[in-house]
């Protein structure tokens, strides 16, 4: 930005110039120090000789560095001034910025609410659509089931028949189980009844018959005569029965006295023995008794 100053010399001299023959003071401008040298010092330096080339080179470099520093300082000051102006603008418009921020946040909240509402409507719409599609698919499956091929329909009929048979057999089995349970109950009741009958003191069953002596079996002889007759029960008794006897037939000679008796000689649960007796001069032709055994 600065150029190196050159020494200034006056070209007018002599009597015609209106000045004395003495030269004007030499003015030397130094760019490195910003000082101007006047007078004898500059003149002496000029008289001593011109500066060397190395001094001139150093002064040129100094001028360049000063120009660079000056440019950097101006850029820094310009940037700092810009930040100061920005801070001042923000500070002066702080309330406006706060209001604008509130408005922006309100708009964002409203936008989010609208987005949620729209998203909810979309979800509901998608759910309704999905349900409609599922219903349509189910109806299609039912329709396809009605239109199944003949082998599949036959298989379905066989399965239904088997299920019906299984249900019928299950019902029959349940009925059989009920009948078995009923029979068990009846058998239990009968056993209890039999036990009660066995313990009763009165008659359970009776059996009867008759026994007779052969013709003239006791006619001949004198004194006491006995004839034993046996009878076997058709069904054995559970215990020894009670036996009763009664004459049903007596036939004897008229000239003699009638002397005849009958009694149970022995008895068991399977049989009995009856004794018919006569004595003295009695001559019976025949005799028969009726017996009854009860237990």
Taking residue 210's Cβ as centre, other Cβ atoms within 10 Å add up to 15
Per-residue pLDDT of 220-257, as tens digits, reads 777 788 889 999 999 899 889 999 999 988 888 776 77
The answer to whether residues 289 and 222 belong to one domain is: yes
The answer to whether residues 240 and 287 belong to one domain is: yes
Which residues touch 24 (CB under 8 Å, ≥6 apart)?
9, 10
Q: What was the pLDDT predicted at 232? A: 94
The answer to whether residues 8 and 88 belong to one domain is: yes
What domain count does the chain have? 4
The answer to whether residues 73 and 117 belong to one domain is: no
Low-confidence stretches of the chain (pLDDT beneath 50): 1-52
Q: What was the pLDDT predicted at 213? A: 87
Instruction: Give the residue carrying structure tokens 């060397």.
Output: 52
The answer to whether residues 33 and 87 belong to one domain is: yes
Which residues touch 284 (CB under 8 Å, ≥6 apart)?
213, 218, 219, 250, 251, 252, 258, 260, 278
**Domain that residue 132 falls in:** 94-147
- Domain containing residue 216: CATH number: 2.60.40.2080
Instruction: Give the residue carrying structure tokens 């009878």.
Output: 231
Q: What was the pLDDT predicted at 253? A: 74
The answer to whether residues 49 and 101 belong to one domain is: no
State how far the Cα of 149 lies from the Cα of 222, in Å rounded to an integer: 113
The answer to whether residues 2 and 83 belong to one domain is: yes
- Taking only Cα atoms into account, the Rg of the chain, rounded to an integer number of angstroms, comes to 80
Q: What was the pLDDT predicted at 108? A: 84
Which residues touch 229 (CB under 8 Å, ≥6 apart)?
211, 212, 213, 273, 274, 275, 276, 289
């Amino acid at each position: 930005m600065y150029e190196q100053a050159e020494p200034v010399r006056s070209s007018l001299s002599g009597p015609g110039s209106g000045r004395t023959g003495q030269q004007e003071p030499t003015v030397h401008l130094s760019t490195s120090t910003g000082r101007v040298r006047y007078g004898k010092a500059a003149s002496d330096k000029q008289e001593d000789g011109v500066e060397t080339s190395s001094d001139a080179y150093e002064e040129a470099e100094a001028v360049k560095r000063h120009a660079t520093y000056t440019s950097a300082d101006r850029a820094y000051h310009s940037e700092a001034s810009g930040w100061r102006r920005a801070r001042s603008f923000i500070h002066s418009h702080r309330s406006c910025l706060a209001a604008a921020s509130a408005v922006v946040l309100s708009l964002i909240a409203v936008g989010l609410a609208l987005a949620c509402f729209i998203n909810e409507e979309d979800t509901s719409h998608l759910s309704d659509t999905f349900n409609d599609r599922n219903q349509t698919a189910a109806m299609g499956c039912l329709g396809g089931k009605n239109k199944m091929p003949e082998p599949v329909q036959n298989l379905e009929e066989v399965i239904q028949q088997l299920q019906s048979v299984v249900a019928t057999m299950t019902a029959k089995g349940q009925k059989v189980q009920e009948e078995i349970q009923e029979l068990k109950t009846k058998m239990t009741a009968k056993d209890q009844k039999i036990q009660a009958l066995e313990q009763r003191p009165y008659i359970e069953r009776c059996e009867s018959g008759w026994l007779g002596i052969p013709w003239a079996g006791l006619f001949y002889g004198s004194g006491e005569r006995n004839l034993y007759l046996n009878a076997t029960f058709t069904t054995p008794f559970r215990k020894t029965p009670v036996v009763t006897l009664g004459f049903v037939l007596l036939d004897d000679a008229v000239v003699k006295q009638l002397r005849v008796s009958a009694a149970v000689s022995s008895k068991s649960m399977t049989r009995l023995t009856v004794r018919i007796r006569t004595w003295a001069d009695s001559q019976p032709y025949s005799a028969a008794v009726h017996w009854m055994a009860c237990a």
